[in-house]
Homo-oligomer: A and B are copies of this chain.
Amino acid sequence: MTDPFVVVGGDAAGMSAASKAKREDPSREVIVFERGEWVSYAACGMPYYVKGTVEELDDLVAVTAEEFREERDVDLRTGREVVGIDTDAKTVTVEGEAGEAIERSYGDLLIGTGASAIEPPFDGLDLEGVFTIHDMDEADAIDRFVGEREPESAAVVGGGYIGVEMAEALDARGLDVSMYEMLPRTLQPFGEETARTVEDHLRDQGVDLRLETAVRGFSGDGSVERVTYEEGGGTASAGADLVIVGVGVAPNTDLAEDAGIELGPTGAIATDDYGRTFDATDGSTVQHVYAAGDCAEATNVVTGEPDHVPLALTANRAGRAIGATVGGDPTRTGGTAGTAIVKAFELGAARTGVIDEERAREAGFDPVSVTIDAPTRPHYYPGATELTVTLVGDAASERVIGASVVGRDGVKRIDAVATAIQGELTVEELQNADLAYAPPFSPVWDPIVTAAKVLGGSMEDEIR
């Protein structure tokens, strides 16, 4: 009998892989070890639980532990942590509730250990009312804190998409929200034009936005009362009854590193096209050991380089592909374009590919970028709103390499660019894409096509 397919970590990548492997080969034993209790939950939904849009935390669970066990025949073991991997003996060491360790053989192994919220060396991180949003229990704790302690003000530290979503959520709960961002702008990966539009909107919505402001820590008597931050040469402070620290996530790689598995240039676990890992010593493929999800790298489809994009679709897709592969149908995990979309109060913002010009140059491109404002419907049709589209091309290959859009409506239009990037379309090809037009849905020239037209013109001018 084949040894089982063992999965470490019961979230998007792990459970997708387990389910797919079982569907491909129902006779194969599939065991998932999850150190927590929650499995297969929509982390991206947590801000909407805090906001109140989602009523029950359980609603965020895509497939319950019971369904995995009963309907999908996956041997799911929660509260069990894998603490060691022996890639020669092909075993994992698993710690149970009582701390006892057992060994299990695997035929194939998937490392899906995810990522953790970064906790900077802030003072007062252990005060009551200071949260990082890294799992469902934390979302629950924030929700209860707001309900029970009735804080009046909140400080969100970090202007990434989690920070922006939490600002909206806490504003909706009636708190006065401040946002602290060390850098000169929020939503870094979305590019300057989109970030500025979002920032103006956050301020319009009453968020006290403090850019280029480095937080030092938090103070209070048991519970957080003030945020201390750098100002001038010294420090200043402002009140906050609740603090959310959302400064990014780091891949959970200890288990892999200890097992001698190679990390890539981003610090996440290096993988090949099929999600297989490499030996840190000699760079050879570690047979039967895969990694996927927030702990692993994926290939950026624009640059062809390893990238670390801890987002749900990448995790689900790679997990599913690895499940198919170990189930007998070798399937590439697919790359990532780094596509992301975020709601910021009344605005939507989305991005894909490479937008930052410096990063584009590092990847060997000669980036040309344009930003246009275009209506989402003809002027005469009610409900037209303005969409700001930034489109980036490479003057050398003439390829589309990135885009960012922001507006009140229609930001899923980013998908046309994400598809163009997947297919390595040139700017001229995107310009000629036959996008759908009728007055209730779009102007004749869709904003994406308009941006491609303008970018095409800029690139021609550059060549002349």
Contacts and interface: CB of A to CB of B under 8 A. Distances in A.
A239 interface: no
A45 B380 contact: yes
A175 interface: no
A352 interface: yes
A213 interface: no
B44 A439 contact: yes
A68 interface: no
A93 interface: no
Interface string A430-447: 111111111111101110
Given A341-B442, A381-B48, A440-B343, A435 B418 contact: yes
Interface residues of A, number: 71
Interface in A159-213: 161
A406 interface: no
Contacts of A415: 413, 415-416, 433, 435-436, 446, 448
A217 interface: no
Contacts of A440: 48, 343, 348
A387 to B, nearest CB: 12
A339 interface: yes
A317 interface: yes
Nearest to A436: B341
Interface string A341-385: 111000010101000000000000000000000000011111000
A352 to B, nearest CB: 7
A59 interface: yes
Interface in A40-58: 42, 44-45, 48, 53-54
Interface in A84-120: none
A335 interface: yes
A433 B335 CA distance: 8
Contact of A423 (B332, B336, B339, B419): B419
A118 to B, nearest CB: 21
A350 B434 CA distance: 12
Interface of A: 12, 42, 44-45, 48, 53-54, 59-60, 161, 301, 311-314, 316-317, 332, 334-343, 348, 350, 352, 378-382, 410-425, 429-442, 444-446, 448-449
22 contacts: A44-B437, A48-B440, A60-B380, A312-B437, A313-B444, A313-B449, A334-B432, A341-B442, A342-B438, A348-B441, A411-B436, A411-B441, A412-B412, A412-B436, A412-B441, A415-B436, A415-B448, A416-B416, A419-B419, A419-B423, A419-B435, A423-B425
Question: What are the 4 A-B residue pairs with the smallest beta carbon separation, nearest first?
Answer: A423-B423, A334-B432, A341-B436, A337-B434
